[in-house]
Amino acid sequence: MMKLKVSYERPEELHHLLDRLGPEVKSWRHSQNREGQFKKAYIVIKERPA
C-alpha cells in the first residue's frame, strides 16, 4: 500500500489527479484543515500483486 499526501489550490486539480490514477486508488479523503492557500488530500493506492 502506498499513501500520498497531495496539496492543491482548486478542486479541479484534485479531480484531475484522481482521474489520472483511476482504478489504482483504493481510497482518498480531504484534510480537516482547510485553512491557507493550499488544501490537502490523502490518497491510498492499491498494492499490486508481486
Q: pLDDT tens digits, residue range 1-50? A: 899 999 999 999 999 999 999 999 999 999 988 788 999 999 999 987 77
Predicted TM-score (pTM) of the model is 0.83
Q: Where are the domains of the chain?
A: 2-45
Q: Which residues contact 40 (CB under 8 A, 6 or more apart)?
A: 5, 6, 7, 8, 30, 31, 33
Of 3, 6, 7, 10, nearest to 45 by C-alpha is 3
pLDDT number for residue 48: 79
pLDDT number for residue 19: 97
